[in-house]
Amino acid sequence: MSETTLAPPRFNAPAGEIIGWRDGNVLRATGIPYARTERFQPPIPLARSEAPISATQWAPASPQRPMQAFARLLGVSPGAMAQQEDCTRLSICLPDHPATTPRPVMVWIHGGSYIFGAGDLPIHDPKSLVSEQDVVTVNVTYRLGIFGFVGGTFQAETNTREKKKARPANLGLLDMIAALRWIRENIAAFGGDPDNVTLFGESAGGDAIAHLMSSDETRGLFRRAIIQSAPLGITPGRRAMHVAMARTASSIDEHSSLEACLDTQLEVEKIGQRYLPRGLMPFGVQFGQAPLPSLRERRAELDERAPHCDLLIGHNVDEAELFMPEAEALQGLFHLPVIGAGCRRALSRAITAGLYSRPAERFARRHANAGGRVWRYRLDWGSDRAARGACHSIDLALLFAGWDLWRHAGIVEGMSEQTMETDGRRLRALWAQFAREGTLEDEGAIEGVLAWKRVRPQ
């Protein structure tokens, strides 16, 4: 963290006096607790702190196993960060100059298949977004994997003994809601507008936002949403899988070691993968468990909320190319002469369409038909240029951190520093415009980056 002779910034918030730090042309308050948690229990709101809150360290990541592919493709690993179960923290970044009016607030929900990643991962640094666009950002860290997305009471499938072991589901979502409530109450102390909050998130983060939009507990907590590359195509038909995963997870409890919990998470993941084609993302949200309505009621809840939430939703044109080289069982097929390359392209396009583009289009259409304002985008930055094209997660390189942190990431191989900096500034301006105003032109494009179009009701 940058050293300076200036006094550290102090923010007098309802949560207490928060002492942050200076970082060039921005101010930061990092690793602020927004709730207290106990293992396998919902988050507990914090009382006002009578002592000053030191907010000068990055939020720790939720405990997780190292993922070599993640580190190689994104150029950084959560394993290099501090990890602890008490990870319900958030970090705020704002311009280091006074605002004439409250600034828009952009809340980042990180992705990672609900099992890895962190809000304060270095590649999620919003400094450029904040300094260029005069916004306030909040990066949220929440519980993952077995600590945040396993559990649930299923009376029809459990016997009396198992019912006693049943745990709340969706703890990671409940953490996000606790963070949003903290933001609602405290962000004005940082120059942010509590009535102009935009959630933005990629992959599992975007998926979480789509589900938070259907929760009655998020009313009044955000005004806009930007959903990036959410795998909305995996939502239905997962109840039996969740039951099996919860049963396997019941072998550990609040007294089990952290190592035992992470070992059990691997077993739970294998159980879940038996229910899914290609082993796709078994950890995730559960409908009919707080804070979510049942799957049957979800449509009505989304329809009711649509007029009150402006939406920008989209995908990258080559999403599945992130995963193709990692599919070891298919490499023989992909390397067959004559037909191999065509098979790979066809499968990649089918996965991108089935998991990302078509579900996003349906979600956008329903939002528009229910009276919401919605725009669809398609990002093609890196297509035919980057080693894996415009693959899953490549949009993060444009939004956050900058070339120095992304240059070693496999997903940007083939792209130049100048291209990333120029196109990143343009994309950040578009995202901030939407956060500030809740609207875009009916149709437009950033050449070589993405195109968007407003979705009208039908």
pLDDT reported for residue 280: 75
Closest alpha carbon to 205 in 323, 106, 65: 106
Residue at token pair 């259409």: 365
Residues 421, 453 contacting (CB under 8 angstroms): no
pLDDT reported for residue 323: 82
- Count of domains for the chain: 1
32-76 residue pLDDT tens: 999 999 999 999 999 999 999 999 999 999 999 988 877 889 988
Taking the C-alpha atoms of residue 232 and residue 220, their distance in angstroms, rounded to an integer, is 24
249 vs 237, residue with greater confidence: 249
Residues in contact with 237: Cβ distance below 8 Å, sequence separation at least 6, in sequence order = none
108-138 residue pLDDT tens: 999 999 999 999 999 999 999 999 999 999 9
| CATH code at position 271 | 3.40.50.1820
pLDDT reported for residue 15: 98
Please check whether residue 345 lies inside any domain of the structure. no
Taking the C-alpha atoms of residue 194 and residue 404, their distance in angstroms, rounded to an integer, is 33
Taking the C-alpha atoms of residue 367 and residue 307, their distance in angstroms, rounded to an integer, is 8
pLDDT reported for residue 332: 58
Show the domain range for 170. Answer: 10-317+355-454
Give percent of the chain with pLDDT exceeding 70: 91
Strand partners, 27: 22, 94
pLDDT reported for residue 2: 47
pLDDT, averaged across the chain: 92
Phi/psi of residue 198, each to 5°? -115, 125
**For range 68-95, the mean pLDDT:** 90
Please check whether residue 389 lies inside any domain of the structure. yes
245-278 residue pLDDT tens: 999 999 999 999 999 999 999 999 999 988 876 5
Q: What is the DSSP letter of 216?
A: G
Residue 147's H or E segment, with its range, is: helix 145-148
pLDDT reported for residue 241: 92
In this model, does residue 24 exceed pLDDT 70? yes
Please check whether residue 238 lies inside any domain of the structure. yes
Please check whether residue 413 lies inside any domain of the structure. yes
Does the pTM of the predicted model rise above 0.85? yes
Taking the C-alpha atoms of residue 73 and residue 57, their distance in angstroms, rounded to an integer, is 26
In this model, does residue 28 exceed pLDDT 50? yes
Q: How confident is the model at residue 152 (pLDDT cuts 50, 70, 90)?
A: confident
184-227 residue pLDDT tens: 999 999 999 999 999 999 999 999 999 999 999 999 999 999 99
Please check whether residue 177 lies inside any domain of the structure. yes
pLDDT reported for residue 338: 61
Quote the tokens at residue 283: 């950890």
Residues in contact with 346: Cβ distance below 8 Å, sequence separation at least 6, in sequence order = none
Residues in contact with 57: Cβ distance below 8 Å, sequence separation at least 6, in sequence order = 30, 31
**Buried-state track 159-185, b at ≥16 Cβ within 10 A, e below 16:** eeebeebbbebbbbbbbbbbbbbbbbe
Please check whether residue 340 lies inside any domain of the structure. no
Please check whether residue 286 lies inside any domain of the structure. yes
Closest alpha carbon to 316 in 384, 376, 393, 374: 393
pLDDT reported for residue 157: 46
Q: How confident is the model at residue 155 (pLDDT cuts 50, 70, 90)?
A: very low
160-187 residue pLDDT tens: 454 455 789 999 999 999 999 999 999 9
Please check whether residue 1 lies inside any domain of the structure. no
CB atoms inside a 10 Å sphere around CB 240: 11
Give percent of the chain with pLDDT exceeding 90: 81
pLDDT reported for residue 158: 47
The gap between the terminal CA atoms of the chain, to the nearest Å, is 52
pLDDT reported for residue 264: 97
Phi/psi of residue 431, each to 5°? -60, -45
Residues 290, 174 contacting (CB under 8 angstroms): yes
Quote the tokens at residue 315: 């995908």
